[in-house]
Amino acid sequence: MVFVCLKDETVKIENMDLSEISPLNEIIKHRELSKIIWRILSSEKIKYFYSVLTISIFGFILLQVRMYINYHAVALVFLFVISLLPLLNFRPGPIFLAAIIGAFFWQYFFLPPTPNFGIEKTEDLMMYIMYFVIAAVSGLLITRIRKQQLTINQKEKKTTALYNLTRDLSAAKSLDDVTECSIKQLKETFHLDVLFIYAERENHLSKSIHAISTISIDDAEWDIAHLAFLSSQRAGRFTDNFPTISKVTYLPLFTKERKLGVVGLIFPGNELLDKETNSLVNTFISQIGVAVEREYLKEQAKQNLLIADSEKLYKTLFDSVSHELKTPITTILGAISSFRDDKIINNKPIFFKLINEANIAAERLKRLVENLLDMTRLESGILKLKREWHSISDLLNSVIHRIRIEDVDHKINCQIKENTGLGNFDYPLLEQALVNIIHNSIEYTPTNSTIDILAENTDNKIIISISDKGAGFPEGELDNIFKKFYRIPGTKPGGTGLGLSIAKGFIEAHGGTITGSNRKNGGAEFIISLPIN
């Protein structure tokens, strides 16, 4: 096992023969030498040498053809060369040096008398001074224009990049969308490798990076990222915190209100970006932080809404159940306490009346408990059907009998067509569903009104319609009638709002459907469709 150190980074090479060490060292040395040469050639100081070399080359060429051109044309050629230097990203210093070298070169070799630094004619002296001034000024002006153009181009690129980022972030509909478009824009604009690690909870960073990140890290790198998260300061490469240990630059993602996570960057060529580009990266990170916070706030708003809905449902259920429990229990207790009075026991009409009222209250209490248990079974997903073949006629007669025990003030007209026959269903569940529907019709229709039930076999389906002659459903409420705990506004108190919701769940468990609508002549109608088998 061999360890090779390169730029403060240790590379471990396993299973390597010693004979391979020398070629590896040569490759490393060649790579380092190439980087050093490139840095020298691309530095600003070397451009002074380039400017002198350029003027010298053109001067040498002009010396070879001076027999064919006069010194006025030579001055124009030098001016042309000096004017081109700003286009090659030469700064004012090298350009000014090129103007001085060109002036002396022109004076010594081309301006009469030659070769000599003297000037005989006054107009040549004026021309020499004007040449020097024009060369220096034109070079500096072109440099300034070039610099302004580069600045404008950079601003335009920056504006375009920020516009693209803001547009994509605005269109994002989730935290994953924000992360995806952020990584895409960072890679396209700066050619960076990127990772995102979000906060798992307050002051604690998640142990896992986002799935679409382009960088993977180990535990040591995660510790550095966590430090950047906690301190809200940069850490890792090119920072004051662990610059030589980490290969990634970690930027905290935060706003004034909260710490959101960390963005990790690996710069192209593993070298720091220039000041202008680095400033744009910081702007990107700020915009991304705002978008991430927006998604956090949206998620928090959803959670708050769910909590508010849960509290509302709890209060509704508590109030409804309290009312529904108190009424039958009070009736039962009143009847029991009355039985202690000998006068009541000896008065058979009153005695049997109290027993009947207690029986009705017990049935009402039983239905409430069954509804609560049935809703629990539906929501838990443990509801299992016990299908058997039963007569639809027997089912409806049993339902009507149960309704008659509790209510004798409504007329029930039941019509079962001969072709209805048998159905394969869970008898107790379907019976309870029909009882809930008919009981709902009783609750919302006047006393002594009629409830019509029709059962028939249509297209190998059992169709059961239950209709009444009440006020029907208000406009806009049909979409809500099967929601649990929902009760139509303005109705009389009582009930839990579970009956129709449970009925719908039981019918759909059989593979059937139920719909509610208003009749043309007034009243409500429920249509139940059940598969025969």
Over 90: is that where the pLDDT of 485 sits? no
Least confidently predicted of 110-124, 166-180, 240-254: 110-124
**Closest alpha carbon to 143 in 92, 78, 99, 94:** 92
Pairwise CA distance, residues 140 & 193, whole Å = 39
Are 473 and 488 in contact, with CB atoms under 8 Å apart?
yes
Which pLDDT value is given to residue 4?
Answer: 37
Over 50: is that where the pLDDT of 298 sits? yes
**Closest alpha carbon to 223 in 239, 238, 241:** 241
The highest-confidence range among 142-151, 154-163, 179-188, 469-478, by mean pLDDT, is 179-188
Which pLDDT value is given to residue 40?
Answer: 54
* Packing angle, helices 275-338 and 122-171, rounded to 10: 10
Which pLDDT value is given to residue 489?
Answer: 57
Task: Give the containing element (helix H, strand E) for 127.
Answer: helix 122-171
Which regions of 295-421 does DSSP assign to beta strands (E)? Answer: 388-391, 411-416
Over 80: is that where the pLDDT of 146 sits? no
481 φ, ψ to 5°? -65, -25
Band of pLDDT at residue 13, cut at 50, 70 and 90: very low
Band of pLDDT at residue 19, cut at 50, 70 and 90: very low
Question: Which two tokens mark 125?
Answer: 């002296």
Give 84-89 contacts, CB < 8 A, sequence gap 24+.
85/51, 85/54, 85/139, 86/139, 86/142, 86/143, 86/145, 86/146, 87/142, 87/146, 89/146
* Residues shown for the chain: 533
259: which strand partners? Answer: 254
Residue pLDDT, tens place only, 335-361: 888 877 777 777 878 888 888 888 877
For residue 19, what is the DSSP state? Answer: G
The highest-confidence range among 121-125, 130-134, 506-510, by mean pLDDT, is 506-510
Model confidence, pTM: 0.48
Pairwise CA distance, residues 83 & 140, whole Å = 9
Least confidently predicted of 15-19, 370-374, 428-432, 508-512: 15-19
Over 50: is that where the pLDDT of 24 sits? no
Which pLDDT value is given to residue 494?
Answer: 52
Which pLDDT value is given to residue 362?
Answer: 82
Residues 6+ apart with CB under 8 A from 487: 320, 495, 497
Which pLDDT value is given to residue 445?
Answer: 85
Which pLDDT value is given to residue 5?
Answer: 39
Pairwise CA distance, residues 154 & 92, whole Å = 20
Residue pLDDT, tens place only, 454-468: 999 888 889 999 998
Architecture of domain 382-531: 2-Layer Sandwich (3.30)
For residue 240, what is the DSSP state? Answer: S
Mean pLDDT of 134-162: 77
Question: Which two tokens mark 4?
Answer: 């090779």
3-state secondary structure of 347: coil
> For tokens 């990127």, what's the residue?
194
- Torsion sign, CA atoms 490, 495, 496, 502: negative
Are 246 and 224 in contact, with CB atoms under 8 Å apart?
yes
Residue pLDDT, tens place only, 466-478: 998 888 888 777 7
Band of pLDDT at residue 84, cut at 50, 70 and 90: confident
Q: How high is the mean pLDDT of the chain?
A: 79
Over 60: is that where the pLDDT of 364 sits? yes
Residues 6+ apart with CB under 8 A from 113: 120
Domain ranges in the chain are 22-149, 172-293, 382-531
Q: For the chain, give the percent of residues with pLDDT over 90.
A: 12
Report which residue type is found at 299: E
Which pLDDT value is given to residue 495?
Answer: 57
Which pLDDT value is given to residue 262?
Answer: 94
Integer CA distances (angstroms), 328 to 34, 406, 409, 505, 517, in order: 94, 12, 18, 26, 32
Pairwise CA distance, residues 248 & 246, whole Å = 5
Pairwise CA distance, residues 118 & 416, whole Å = 130
Mean pLDDT of 131-144: 74
Which pLDDT value is given to residue 496?
Answer: 60
462: which strand partners? Answer: 457, 530
Which pLDDT value is given to residue 487?
Answer: 66
End-to-end CA distance of the chain: 73
Which pLDDT value is given to residue 28?
Answer: 41
Which pLDDT value is given to residue 336?
Answer: 81
Q: What's CA 87's distance to the chain center, in Å?
A: 46
Mean pLDDT of 116-129: 76
Residue pLDDT, tens place only, 101-112: 888 887 778 877
Q: For the chain, give the percent of residues with pLDDT over 70.
A: 83
Over 70: is that where the pLDDT of 138 sits? yes
Pairwise CA distance, residues 235 & 250, whole Å = 5
Tell me which fold the domain 172-293 belongs to: Beta-Lactamase (3.30.450)
Which pLDDT value is given to residue 275?
Answer: 82
Pairwise CA distance, residues 108 & 93, whole Å = 23
Band of pLDDT at residue 14, cut at 50, 70 and 90: very low
Which pLDDT value is given to residue 500?
Answer: 83
Residue pLDDT, tens place only, 381-425: 667 788 889 898 999 998 888 888 777 788 888 998 888 888 888
Which pLDDT value is given to residue 179?
Answer: 92
Pairwise CA distance, residues 164 & 168, whole Å = 6
Mean pLDDT of 179-189: 91
Q: Are β-strands 388-391 and 450-458 bridged in parallel, bridged antiparallel, or unpaired? A: unpaired
38 vs 157, which has greater pLDDT? 157
Least confidently predicted of 298-312, 316-330, 336-350, 465-479: 316-330
Mean pLDDT of 284-290: 91
